[in-house]
Structure 1
Amino acid sequence: MTSSIPWQQQLSTGTEDIQDEVIRWYQQTRHGKSYVPEMIWGTLQTEAYAAVILGRVVAFLGVPDDVPAGVAKRMERQQVLHDGEHHYDVILGEQALYANVGGPKVMSEQLERLLRDIDLPSLRLGIVPATAEMSLVPKPGFSLYDGGRAHYELVSSSVDITDPAELALHHRAFDAISDAAHYGDAAKELINKALAFWSNA
């Protein structure tokens, strides 16, 4: 089954309520997976980075501006990385390290945050190099949650997929992307390269 809900409906009261819902998803998911090719995964975002992202969402969709409240909730969600009860496999595209969100200072602070958190026991963070060859056609980013759900965030709506056969394909796709990703010191090298770029921008 596939369900789609327009963002303007979900964000009709602003960004805070949907962040509460996302917190529940993460608290209920003991082992989650996310592929985020072009931005930093929300649960690793700094306050400044998150404020730019949510501000852009508010401006683009014309929904109520409660960005500080939404950012506070996004920071609250990050507790799952430190409570010892959750684990997340996260893959970023190398482009996520260079997509300009807020300028050099915000990006430098964000990449420093990645370097601090990459060795957390709750996190397996990979980076797919821009030149990596994958065994499947590159796909939009998606997340996999406990309870049998794949989640996409599109321009106009969010989409949830629950059909078991489709979910199996999503897990296969995630494994293929993981095979192309760099981890550990190789991932840190890619992050440090991007950090040097933003530090000199």
Structure 2
Amino acid sequence: MTSFIPWQQRLSTGTEDIQSEVIDWYRRTRHGKAYVPTMIWGTLQTEAYATVILRRVVDFLGVPDDVPAGVAKRMERQQVLYDGEHRYEVILGEQALYTNVGGPVVMCGQMDRLLRDMDLPAVHLGVLPTTAEVGVVPMPGFNLHGDDRAHYELVSTGLDITDLDELALHRKAFSALSEAARHGSAAKELISKALAFWSSK
């Protein structure tokens, strides 16, 4: 089963309410997985990076402007990384380290954050190299919230998938992506390379 509600409807009161909804998802999801090919996973974003992202959402969709409140809620979401009760497997595409969100200063701060927080017990972070060979066809990013829901964020809407057979395929796809990704010191090397790139700008 799939379900979706257009972003302009879901964000009709601004960004804060939906961020509160996402906080609830994360608090209820003890073990989640996320594949994010072209940007930084929201729960690891710095305040500066998140501010740029939500500003772009508001401007693009023409929804009420409550960016500071939305960012505050996104920062609140990150408490799940420190409470000792949650665990998240995250795969970033190498492109996510280079997608320009806010310019070099913002990107340097974001790379520093990744290097610091990838050692948290709650986070198992991998980076999928641009040239990696992956045993699955290219696909957009998705989140797995436990065993009962896969979530996509598309241009005009968010999409939830709950069919058990489809969820099994998502877990299979995530395993293939994780197998091709770099973890540990190899992932840190890729992030450090991106930090050096942004530091030179």
CA distance in 2, matches of 1:71, 1:172: 33
2:184 corresponds to: 184
CA RMSD of aligned residues (A): 0.5
- Give, in angstroms, the shift of residue 147 of structure 1: 5.0
Q: Does 1:36 align with 2:36?
A: yes
Q: Does 1:13 align with 2:40?
A: no
AA at the equivalent of 2:159: V
SS at the partner of 1:192? helix
- Give, in angstroms, the shift of residue 38 of structure 1: 0.2
1:27 corresponds to: 27
User: Where do 5+ consecutive residues of structure 1 fail to align?
Assistant: none
AA at the equivalent of 1:57: V
2:51 corresponds to: 51
Q: Does 1:130 align with 2:134?
A: no
- Give, in angstroms, the shift of residue 151 of structure 1: 0.2
SS at the partner of 1:14? coil
CA distance in 1, matches of 2:142, 2:48: 23
User: Where do 5+ consecutive residues of structure 2 fail to align?
Assistant: none
Asked whether the equivalents of residues 29 and 146 of structure 2 are also in contact (C-alpha less than 8 Å), the reply is: yes
Q: Does 1:155 align with 2:132?
A: no
Asked whether the equivalents of residues 147 and 167 of structure 2 are also in contact (C-alpha less than 8 Å), the reply is: no
CA distance in 1, matches of 2:146, 2:24: 12
Superposition TM-score, scaled by structure 2 size: 0.99
SS at the partner of 1:126? strand
AA at the equivalent of 2:87: H
SS at the partner of 2:89? strand
CA distance in 2, matches of 1:138, 1:183: 20
CA distance in 1, matches of 2:188, 2:147: 32
- Give, in angstroms, the shift of residue 4 of structure 1: 1.0
Asked whether the equivalents of residues 108 and 198 of structure 2 are also in contact (C-alpha less than 8 Å), the reply is: yes
SS at the partner of 2:182? coil
CA distance in 2, matches of 1:146, 1:68: 29
- Give, in angstroms, the shift of residue 90 of structure 1: 0.3
2:94 corresponds to: 94
SS at the partner of 1:22? helix
2:76 corresponds to: 76
CA distance in 2, matches of 1:22, 1:84: 19
2:171 corresponds to: 171
- Give, in angstroms, the shift of residue 146 of structure 1: 2.1
AA at the equivalent of 1:47: E
SS at the partner of 1:121? coil
Q: Deviations over 1:162-185 (max 9, x none)?
A: 000000000000000001100000
CA distance in 1, matches of 2:138, 2:191: 21
Superposition TM-score, scaled by structure 1 size: 0.99
CA distance in 2, matches of 1:18, 1:138: 28
AA at the equivalent of 1:173: A
AA at the equivalent of 1:75: M
CA distance in 2, matches of 1:146, 1:18: 19
CA distance in 2, matches of 1:144, 1:94: 20
Worse-matched range after superposition: 142-151 or 29-38:
142-151
AA at the equivalent of 2:107: M
Moved over 2 A (4+): none
